[in-house]
Each structure stands twice: as structure tokens, then as C-alpha cells.
Amino acid sequence: MTVDGAALPRERPGDTPSDDEGARLQLLLPDTLPVTLDLAAADRLAMREALAELLAALALADRTAGLARIERLLSRVEDGGLRPATVTQTGTPADAAKVDDFDAYFRVDRVATDRPAFALLRGLLQTARAVIGLFGRTSDLPPQRMDQQVAGFVAWSRLLARSCDLGELS
């Protein structure tokens, strides 16, 4: 990203703009996904505000403006102390090597954290950014498909809010 011709540094992997080929998706290991997410009061507030901002961005009719808001939000959301994780078991017929190949192809980084709620939020933001960016770069995709994707991101946001016991989002 540049501003007035000067490159701005990216502080964390996965924060690159949607049109950057280096963009990555950070995902928790499936066997470490929590059933419930208990957050401290400050984290509850930060999560609620971030999800409300995401919903506002998704509600914008101007998808370019929505994408810009999502990118700004992603650059501000705490990463929760992400660290690389290694797939050792998959719970599927695929072995760890096949999962590693899949992850490399789709630019997925498996991560671990002591604050999984923020890792889940970052994954949601990274996915929304990638999908909305894709729709913005091509005119071949039907608008109703974009609407379906946005509806899915809204549902995902509300599910994350319920998982964190945040109540209903407006």
C-alpha cells in the first residue's frame, strides 16, 4: 500500500490489501477450536465494536467503500498473540502432509493463540476482504452471489457474537 508514493509497512502477516498476492488466511487448528469463548470485559467491548463495524461495512451499498472499511478494521484488530501452529492430526482421511499441501495452495497459515476469539475475528475479516475484493475485480460474477456471500458474513458475525456471549448486534 502506498500513500503519496511512499510505501506503508505492514506489521502483521495477513494484513495486506485484498489485491496483494501475498495475502494469507490465518486459521486456528480445527482440534483447538473452542466451544465457548469467555472474554474479559475490555475484550468483550473490543469484539462487540469490531463486529458492529464489520456489519456496518457489509451493509454499505458501495462495496469499494465497504472493502476499505474492512481493510482498516483488519489493520486495527488485535491478532491475539498469533503464533505458527503445525497440523499433526486432521480428523479426516487426509493426512497432515495433504493438509499442508492444501494450506500452501490456498495460502492458509495455521495458527495458535491464547485468545482464539480474536483469531476467529481476524479469519472472518480476512475472508470477507478476499471475497469482496474478488467481486470488485471482476464483472463476471452475478451480483446475487455477492449478496449471498455478504449474508454469510453477516451470519458468521452474529454467530461469533453469540459464541462470545455478546448478545444481539444491531
**122-151 pLDDT, tens digit each:** 999 999 999 999 999 988 999 999 999 999
Q: Which residue segment(s) compose the domain that 90 sits in?
A: 21-163
Query: Does residue 33 fall inside a structural domain?
Result: yes
Query: Does residue 15 fall inside a structural domain?
Result: no
Angle of the 41-59 helix axis to the 116-137 helix axis, nearest 10: 10
Rounded Cα gap, residues 91 and 12, in angstroms:
30
Query: Does residue 168 fall inside a structural domain?
Result: no
Rounded Cα gap, residues 39 and 159, in angstroms:
15
- Identify the DSSP state of 39: -
**75-88 pLDDT, tens digit each:** 999 888 899 998 88
**90-116 pLDDT, tens digit each:** 777 888 888 889 889 999 999 999 999
Q: Is the dihedral of CA 35, 39, 110, 88 positive or negative?
A: negative
Query: Does residue 3 fall inside a structural domain?
Result: no
Query: Does residue 170 fall inside a structural domain?
Result: no
The model carries a pTM of 0.80
Total residue count of the chain as it appears in this document: 170
Total domain count, the chain: 1
Query: Does residue 39 fall inside a structural domain?
Result: yes
Query: Does residue 8 fall inside a structural domain?
Result: no
Residue with cell 453469540: 162
Rounded Cα gap, residues 64 and 53, in angstroms:
15
